[in-house]
Amino acid sequence: MMRRQTLYEGRWIFAILLILAMLSSLVTLWLSLLFLALILYTFAFFRDPDRVTPGDPDLVVAAADGVVADIMEIEETEVVKAPMKRIGIFLSVFDVHTNRAPVAGRIIYRQHRRGLCLDARSPDCSGKNESMTWAFENPRATLVVKQLTGAIARRIVGWSKVGDTLQKGERFGMIRFGSRTEVYLPLEATVLVKLGERVSGGSSIIARLP
């Protein structure tokens, strides 16, 4: 499924590829076919399917599509400023890149930080790469989500703002091309995924709140 808002983020990419395809057709058909293939891939990249989100308020869903790259206890230094459990999800260039709220709640924090664009598969990139940090608060807990650029990703997009109330699984932003999304949970939360497990944003259960 294609959403207008998601496709809008790729408008300049589509325009440039279309112009290149038209110009290259004047030189060689094979080159224009290459650009047409890139246009089709870009459409696939900006796909944004609907998902069925579990209604149980105790359950936390993945904030992004991808593979669970790391699970660890770490000091969260921006919002909660306390030790939390972190689940890092790596998104390849073939994954859906829309980010979704892991729980229902109000956005109480949103902060963009400039940084590097290191390989998003490394846990160390969390403190070095360009990022946008979000916090979702409800009566059960405060969860922190961090969007991180990668070696290919160069743009983090935020569609929601501080004060917005989102339902679990609702879209709040996206990252363009390969990247990383992290979910920070209370230490008392029970992690329900394993390293290397593939998850789907908005539908895959990754943890249970106490």
Asked if 179 is an active-site residue, the reply is yes
Cβ neighbours of residue 195 under 8 Å, at least 6 residues apart?
68, 69, 70, 71
C-alpha dist (Å) from residue 159 to 57, 127, 134? 23, 23, 12
Please pick, among 24, 179, 200, 203, the residue that the annotation labels catalytic: 179
Burial level of 82, CB count in 10 A (0-12/13-18/19+)?
exposed
Q: Which two tokens stand for residue 145?
A: 């989500």
Which of 200, 163, 207 has its CA nearest to residue 53?
200
Active site residues: 179
